[in-house]
Structure 1
């Protein structure tokens, strides 16, 4: 990758940040926001192979909602739940758990095929051709039980440049604000639907049913 290609346009990244703000203000659904964000990051010049984002959720069926975007393949959505209040082995052996346990906000690893995997997920990423990986944790309101966790992966031979790392760390704040609004909207919808039923809950949120 040339130096020119390794430098990420600040103007393009600012446009992604502006889009996040507009999407949040428009009340876009979390899935729509995440998909649009990933597509715009790739269009801005980041050589992303895979993006994973996970959000804590107050939901009767699952504890977290995960989104996995793969270049050229679109996005998958998955719900996660604890078994009898215990985290799965998949989570306990993940970079996310490592970050939370050690009170770190992010970690970066170059995936060297000749070295043993630090985390099991790295084996899967290597099969996808991933060369560089960065994971992060971004709590909402300083509460580590509610927030966003995610990771960025590239299959570029030279990995992420320092410009790319800086751009990703900066955009995470904009992403956190936008997704927090979308998550809170989804939580409100979940609660209203659970206690009032689907139609009545949506009518309350839309302002069609008022107190008194």
Structure 2
């Protein structure tokens, strides 16, 4: 490949990175152009650490042949704790480069060539003849969490493998590719972080530029406020190392139910959750909230059975639902903003949720919510009477789910927090 054609590939990958192509699209477009120019590349893997609450990083894969049967993206777990991911990492050529300080490693594959890494034997069995590994390190200021370098491996199945000139060309062209990949990865990380910490809808709005202080929308929404029964007692009686897994287990059941039903979680407050359901039709938003409640109850019931089998503390959730007008947007100081909802309706739903304990009901909904519920769903709600809510001017009638239509909870609340883990 002459210098002009190499420059054309570098130009393409730079422009493609600026247009916002994904990591996989960049890798495939880059490799397809290498093949067009006659480079004998058969396989490529790109390894990128990331910032994600579950996965440490991703592997993006390209194959010249049999691409459709390949899983193009593989996510891997933590390599800094014991386990299969950590063992695989320590055996890898990438780990060797990280420790050695070198920036590339090349091994020819076949009879008479050393197989000092386990992967070389596997590649020889698969017909590969040459293997190049690169590491592109970031300076400290350019690192994002564990994302402090990119690793890549380039394989050939040509009888003679790569020529020295082709190795030099791959090393040269890999730099603009990695820069474009870093741009794509940072965009994906930003999306993951804002959606994880702000919620899906709020995160999308922030990424769309809704970040000015005091900029809010006046919206009509169903408001959800849930909390866990007996959490204070559990924190006082359970083993300290059980508390965070306990919260995570129940948060997973609640948040996944809200998301599946079309809602968005705005805030986690200890063991409590504030969420909204936005629909053009208020009755549909109410229907979604009730669906989330059913999903949550089913998942918590299954979770309690699992935790009880391990002799772990269990609980249940109580829930307040309301519908009203709120301000939705950026609120706070110049140095610290929160994308959330505020307004009297937010205070009201929290008061309704807190009242569940006093009236011994797991679910309470406001009269406004009851009025907005589709008529075919109102039969499932019954009045519990009129109640005064702290900070709300007038008492209002509250409703709960009809006990005759609900399955009994398989949990004795009096025993919450009295079990211990022996798993």
- What is the TM-score of this pair, normalised by structure 1? 0.88
SS in 1 for 2:74: strand
- Let me know the Cα RMSD of the aligned residues: 1.9
Asked if the contact 1:52–1:67 (Cα under 8 Å) also holds between the matched residues in 2, the reply is: yes
Q: In terms of Rg, which structure is larger?
A: 2
Deviations 1:121-149 (A, max 9, x none): 11221122111111011012355852210
- Alignment match of 1:62 (pick from 33, 55, 67): 55
Aligned twin of 2:126? 128
**Alignment partner, residue 101 of structure 1:** 99
Alignment-derived partner of residue 281 in structure 2: none
Corresponding residue number in structure 2 for 1:42: 35
Among 9, 12, 15, the alignment partner of 2:8 is 15
Q: 1:98 to 1:161 in 2, by over 3 A?
A: same
Q: What is the TM-score when the length of structure 2 is the normalising length?
A: 0.46
Deviates more, 1:110-119 or 1:21-30: 110-119
Answer with 77-86 or 65-74: which moved more: 77-86
Post-superposition Cα deviations, 1:32-69, rounded to whole Å, max 9, x if no partner, equal 21221222222221111110111110011211110121
Q: Distance in 2 between matches of 1:20 and 1:39?
A: 12
Equivalent pair of 2:43/2:63 in contact (CA under 8 Å)? yes
Shift of 1:93: 0.9
What does residue 77 of structure 2 align with?
81
Deviation per CA, 1:139-167, whole angstroms, max 9, x where unpaired?
12355852210111101111111110111
Structure 2 counterpart of 1:137, from 128, 135, 138: 135
Higher RCO (C-alpha under 8 Å, 6+ residues apart):
1
Distance in 2 (alpha carbons) for counterparts of 1:25 and 1:106: 27
**Distance of 1:53 and 1:84 partners within structure 2:** 20
Contact 1:137/1:149 (<8 A) preserved: yes
Partner of 1:193: 195
The answer to whether the 8 A contact 2:51-2:147 is kept is: no
Q: CA deviation at 1:85?
A: 2.5
Count of aligned positions: 205
Between the aligned partners of 1:147 and 1:55, the Cα distance in structure 2 is 7
Instruction: Note closer, same or farther for the CA distance 1:83–1:160 as it changes in structure 2 (3 Å cut).
Output: closer
Deviation string 1:70-110 (CA, Å, 9 cap, x unpaired) is 11223611001126634522111111111111111001111
Secondary structure of residue in 1 paired with 2:54:
coil
Residues 53 and 150 in structure 1, CA contact (< 8 A), matched pair in contact too: yes
Give, in whole Å, the separation in 2 of the partners of 1:49 and 1:84: 31
